[in-house]
Structure 1
Amino acid sequence: MMATNVVGLIPAAGLGSRLSPIPCSKELFPVGFEPHPEHGEPHPKVVSQYLLEHMQRAGARQVYVILRKGKWDIPDYYGDGSQLGLQLAYLIMQRPYGSPYTLDQAYTFVRQQRVVFGFPDILFEPQNAFEQLLQKQEKTQADVVLGCFKVPNPQKWDMVELEENGEVKTIFPKPATSNLAYGWAIACWGPRFTEFMHSFLKGEEARLHTSGKEFSVGEVVQAAIHHGLLVLSVSFDEGSCLDVGTPEDLQKAIRTLS
């Protein structure tokens, strides 16, 4: 069952430095194939389309993509999104302090909505992952629900310590080593977390400006836990996720999907 009042939120302001140099924004790198809409022959499918299709299946009709200046190839490629059954809007990132600030650029537009969130260079399964997160949020009234996957390389992920009931106890951003099994890759959240993130980031901006540090989304979710917001999880033990932002994992994705 598709959820209502859901919008998608995608940060696409990164430099793609781990893959540099490449001839396009990393979000448009071809990974796999799909039938061409006109003649049906195999046609290259770009990596971010997988995330957009996940969001569309979950009931999001409006998706906000936040860019940095210069990444005009993304709106040029997707246009208004109608070919995917979506309404795409593009916003420009203003504050260079990490993904949460990129997401906060959409605050005015999403503050009353339920948000589904993912990174455009992470491929994941199952196909109904977002639906499962939204159903759990609706059932429990959690502020945030994280989609968690068993990952082999903890240093590449935000690892999560979970209670038996699925409540997220602690998030450890990209630890050098970890005994934890699950990293989080996708999320949904409600207006309470959007408001918390907006206020929290406002309070931290001066310090980040001085230090040059950047925040990750996981660090903001951890701050929300510390401030008493309810963060739950859905663990996809039979699912998979792959960050294609590095050459070796991009190669793995191309082999798998081609």
Structure 2
Amino acid sequence: MWGVIPAAGLGSRIQPLAFSKELLPVGTRRDGDVERPRAVSEYLIDRMILAGADKICMVISPGKSDIVEYYGASVGPADICYVVQPVAAGLCDAIFRSLPWIQPEEEVVVGLPDTVWFPEHGLRALDGGGLSFLLFPVEHPELFDAVVTDERGRVLEIQVKQRDALSRWVWGAFKLTGAVMRELHDLWCERGQQDPYIGTLVNEYLARGGSARAVRAGEAYVDVGTLHGYREAMQLLSGVVV
């Protein structure tokens, strides 16, 4: 299984930093008997590995060599490769940079490296063989991508940063096959590569007969890309033993 991590963003909401935002220290981890700071992106990588990912593709910008230096060639049982997104061109562009290395039959999990969420095993709740989203309840869905579903968990619409969103459940990660990823890529190209957000692209995919499921298995979700989110993450982790 692949884990794809789009890590090429500018991080303008939390700058200035002297390093990539994905390496922002959030909480701590144990290294033997020593407690060390933990980079925020480690939380996502750990969750991908718990879901079965044994290959991680990090999509980085040309100036983010510090991420390569930090993680090197592997984390635990997972090998890591790096793909460069030459210019910041949105989430869809970043995710699809990994496509040449992914086979149609392989499963892929995608998440955002500046988030902290629970439960740790949440990705295991997602079905394989198609496209499925892991949902989390939030107080302000208009700041995220709210996912509207029917009673059986089928995705009806993704409302991208929409005021008065119809759902307070937002996606925090998703799972799909390489084949579905290729379908989405081809649709993205057909639409002139104009979709910066995965939500608008998935809406068109659904309108053309595609299907997606959503699982409300998330419990807590924090975007650490802002100073407010950073404080929320520290508060969330204050009662968690890691």
Q: Give the TM-score range, shorter chain.
A: over 0.9
With structure 1 as the length reference, what TM-score do the two structures score? Answer: 0.87
Q: Which runs of no fewer than 5 residues in structure 1 stay unpaired?
A: 1-5, 209-213
| AA at the equivalent of 2:21 | K
Q: 1:96-107 to 2 correspondence within 5 Å?
A: 96-107=88-99
Q: Which residue of the partner structure matches residue 211 of structure 1?
A: none
In structure 2, distance between residues paired with 1:8 and 1:178: 29
* Equivalent position SS for 1:115: strand
Alignment equivalent of 1:48, drawn from 33, 36, 41 = 41
More displaced stretch, 114-123 vs 104-113: 104-113
More displaced stretch, 49-58 vs 224-233: 224-233
Residue 163, structure 1, aligned to residue 155, structure 2 = no
Determine if contact 1:115/1:189 at 8 Å carries over to the other structure: yes
In structure 2, distance between residues paired with 1:96 and 1:34: 31
Residue 123, structure 1, aligned to residue 116, structure 2 = yes
What RMSD, in angstroms, separates the aligned Cα atoms of the two structures? 1.6
Structure 1's consecutive aligned runs of 4 or more residues displaced over 3 angstroms after TM superposition are: none
In structure 1, distance between residues paired with 2:29 and 2:109: 24
Q: Which residue of the partner structure matches residue 200 of structure 2?
A: 219
In structure 2, distance between residues paired with 1:192 and 1:229: 13
Alignment equivalent of 1:35, drawn from 16, 30, 39 = 30
Matched length: 237
Determine if contact 1:67/1:90 at 8 Å carries over to the other structure: yes
Q: Which runs of no fewer than 5 residues in structure 2 stay unpaired?
A: none
| AA at the equivalent of 2:12 | S
Determine if contact 1:116/1:187 at 8 Å carries over to the other structure: yes
- Shift of the 43–96 alpha-carbon distance from structure 1 to 2, 3 Å rule, reads closer
Determine if contact 1:117/1:188 at 8 Å carries over to the other structure: yes
Q: Deviations over 1:59-105 (max 9, x none)?
A: 111010000110110010000124x2210000001464311111111
| AA at the equivalent of 2:17 | I
Same amino acid, percent of matched pairs = 28
Q: 1:9-158 to 2 correspondence within 5 Å?
A: 9-37=4-32, 40-82=33-75, 84-94=76-86, 96-112=88-104, 113-133=106-126, 136-137=127-128, 141=129, 143-158=130-145
Alignment equivalent of 1:241, drawn from 193, 216, 221 = 221
Task: Decide which structure has greater helix share.
Answer: 1
Q: Which residue of the partner structure matches residue 229 of structure 1?
A: 210
Determine if contact 2:59/2:95 at 8 Å carries over to the other structure: yes
| AA at the equivalent of 1:107 | L
In structure 2, distance between residues paired with 1:204 and 1:221: 12
Residue 257, structure 1, aligned to residue 237, structure 2 = yes
- Shift of the 185–41 alpha-carbon distance from structure 1 to 2, 3 Å rule, reads same
In structure 1, distance between residues paired with 2:102 and 2:207: 23
Q: Which residue of the partner structure matches residue 3 of structure 1?
A: none
